[in-house]
Every structure is written in C-alpha cells, then in structure tokens.
Amino acid sequence: MPNTKPRIMNDWKDLFWSLLPLVLICLVIAGIASQCTFSANGPTAGQIPNFDAHTALAEDARQLPFDIREPALPADWKPNSGSRDPGVSSTVGYITPQGSYMQLTQSNAAEEVLAKKIVGTRYATGTQQVGARKWVVYAEPGTEPAWITDFGDTRVLIKGAGNAGSFTVLATAIGNAPALPRT
C-alpha cells in the first residue's frame, strides 16, 4: 500500500504540484497549434477592418427620417466600423493617421438625450468654435471628450481618443458636408 497522507493534510502546495503538469501540457499544445504568442514589445496593431462608409451613410440617408451628412475626410482617415439604430441614429467609426479611434454619430434626438446615450452622465463643460459652427463640449478628466452640434433636424456627435486636431478635422469635414439625398 502506497504511503499517502490523509486528505485533510493536503494544502496549496499539493494543489500547485498537481496542476503544474496540466498547465505545462496546455502551453505545449497551444504553442504547437500556434494559438499563443509571446512578444517582449507588447501588443502590436492589427489590420484595420475595411468599412464602406459611403455606402452605409447613403443607405442611412434613405432609411432614417433626418438628414445624414458624409464628411470629406483626408485619405489617411480610415473608416473601420458603422451601425444604425433604426429611426434614431447613424454611427461611423474612423481610425486617424495617428491610430486613434474617432466616432461620428448623427441623430434626430435632442442634444441632452444624445449626450446621455453616448457619453453617459457627463455634463457640458464648454464650447468649441470650428468654422461657422459652435460645438458643445462634454469632457471629464480621464474620459474621451465628445462634441455635439445642431444642424436643425439633426444633431451630430463626435467623440474619441484623438487629439484636438483630430476633433477639428472631423468637425470641419462634417460642418462642410451637405445633406445626402434621401432617394
């Protein structure tokens, strides 16, 4: 009969030594299957998904009951995502040349409702003049700022991790964009 200690005498060291071979086997299998990689440089940027913002915004203009605008952004701004909340909003995401994400949301909701939906409990903290358009700024330390402007039947919100220049580029582009045709 093997010399074993009673179960009550087992402690965390016994558990550790029991699980160690299993963990090592899992790591070897994952390495063989090329499912694990280790990098001393930290995470690397992946490929930006391709999103057809022109087609999406044109379709949103046909489907939604308010004006939709398509900003003419520099070629190095890459659209990477989009969504539509039927009857409420159209959203397109862009990656700036610096690699920051910027979100453009267009909605017929009132400014306060749109702000609450997108930025939560933040309050307006000031304004920013870009061209002929005044933007209401929602910002708190440690959060991504958001800017909202009113086009009459449409409110436009931009937010993201971009710098002040990125906000100005997007605000200028949307401010200069005509409403897309609805047909």
Judge contact between 118 and 105, C-beta under 8 A. yes
Phi, psi of 26 (to 5 degrees): -60, -40
- Residue ranges of the domains in the chain? 53-176
Distance between CA 154 and CA 61 in Å, rounded? 12
Q: Please give the model's pTM, rounded to 2 decimal places.
A: 0.74
Q: Please say whether the beta carbons of 177 and 111 come within 8 A.
A: no
Instruction: Using DSSP, state whether 26 is helix, strand or coil.
Output: helix
- Tell which residue, 64, 42, 52, 148, has the closest CA to residue 103: 148
Max CA distance (Å), the chain = 90
Q: Measuring CA to CA, which residue among 109, 114, 129, 113 is closest to residue 159? A: 114
Contacts of 28 (CB under 8 A, 6+ apart): none
Q: Give per-residue pLDDT as tens, 80-133.
A: 999 999 889 999 999 999 999 999 999 999 999 999 999 887 889 999 999 999
DSSP state of 79: E
Query: Tokens representing 176?
Result: 């200069």
What percent of the chain shows pLDDT beyond 70?
92
Asked whether residue 167 carries a pLDDT value surpassing 90, the answer given is: yes
Question: Candidates 3.90.1720, 3.30.200, 3.40.50, 3.20.19; correct CATH number of 53-176?
Answer: 3.30.200
pLDDT value for 26: 84
Per-residue pLDDT tens over the stretch 23-69: 888 888 877 776 556 666 655 667 778 899 999 999 999 999 999 99
